[in-house]
Amino acid sequence: MMMIDTEQLTKTYNGRGGCRGITLRVPEGCIFGLLGPNGAGKSTFVKMLAGLHRPDSGRAAVLGQPLGRPEARRRLGYLPELFRFQDWLTPAEVLRFHGRLGGLRPQEIRAPAFRNRVRDTLELVGLSEAADRRVGGFSKGMQQRLGLAAALLLDPELVILDEPASALDPVGRYEIRSLLKRLRGKGVTVFLNTHLLEDVEELCDEAAFLYGGELLASGPLHQLLSGTGDSGANWRFRIGGWLPETWAELNEAVGGTLLHLVEADESGNALLTARVTDREQAGYLCALFIRSGLTLYESGPEPNSLEAWFLRMAKFRQGGVPQ
């Protein structure tokens, strides 16, 4: 089952901003990261999924139901980017209020089972010792934890989190990452809208990149980072038997711009890189080296980082050539 399934989903503001033509699928039981610079349209997309914005056009289903259906909302947890709780309430009172918003009857709210759920949820997000304090005295990080508790209170199958770690210190971010991993282990699907690349790199199974309101790439994170998409991949070759005249011969064979010599030593060892479109092209280069009398010690894609991929995608959207 696809927990989120959109086709050409579009929402703009008087023809400007927002996002356009977003086709995206999020499978069950994964952590999915939505990436993009500020103003890319990420929050607009998230608000449509949560039923807070009505799309201008396109189609979308959340938890197998059309957008905004009560059947889906009951199984959805949502943490908005910007929120406020009443200063005079305690965390326990906030969660009781959210229980009522979630459809629980007054007798259910008063039942011991729900009181235990409130206690366990506050403990889950690290607020058990502050359960009876007034929210008005909370730090931004504590407010963020309480917002996450409200999103998780009713055991949702899908959790949509809009910048969940933006106000947290490093310890808090580590704790929230650990919590999200536990949720995935329980089969909960997490849709994470964030600009913190290290969180995505550590947590996410799949990711998508929005820029200027358009979806530029999506898929399993390891495939995006390996560069097997349209922009190609950096491939490295470690070879032996290198001679100065070898460089001219290889460049003539491949057209003169594909290969790059990174280093070579006096013993004939060399490291070459190339930007290839697919594994077949990398295999052709391996065969070419061997036919040229070289020894091929190592061949494979260069390790990539999410930051490098993010910057390369942004440059591609601006009209440059990804490097």
Dump the DSSP string for 226-274: HT-STT-EEEEEEEES--HHHHHHHHHHHTSSSEEEEEE-TTS-EEEEE
**Using the 8-state DSSP alphabet, how is residue 290 labeled?**
H
pLDDT at position 305: 67
pLDDT value at residue 83: 84
Q: What is the pLDDT of residue 161?
A: 93
Question: When comparing pLDDT for 25 and 251, which is higher?
Answer: 25
Q: How far apart are CA 267 and CA 262, in angstroms?
A: 15
More confident call, 221 vs 166: 221
Q: Are 249 and 256 in contact (CB under 8 A)?
A: no
- Highest mean predicted confidence (pLDDT) among 2-11, 72-81, 220-229, 270-279: 2-11
Is residue 323 very low, low, confident or very high in pLDDT (cuts 50, 70, 90)? very low
pLDDT band at 176 (very low <50, low <70, confident <90, very high): confident
Position 257 scores a pLDDT of 66
Interhelix angle 279-291/244-254, rounded to 10 degrees, is 140
pLDDT tens track for 235-285: 889 999 998 888 888 888 887 667 888 888 889 999 988 878 778 888 999
Q: How far apart are CA 236 and CA 227, in angstroms?
A: 13
Does residue 220 carry a pLDDT above 60?
Answer: yes
Lowest-confidence range among 20-24, 91-95, 105-109, 247-251? 247-251
Average model confidence (pLDDT) for the chain? Answer: 87
Q: How many residues does the chain have?
A: 323
Task: Report all structural domains of the chain as residue ranges with CATH numbers, in order of start.
Answer: 2-226 (3.40.50.300), 233-301 (3.30.70.250)
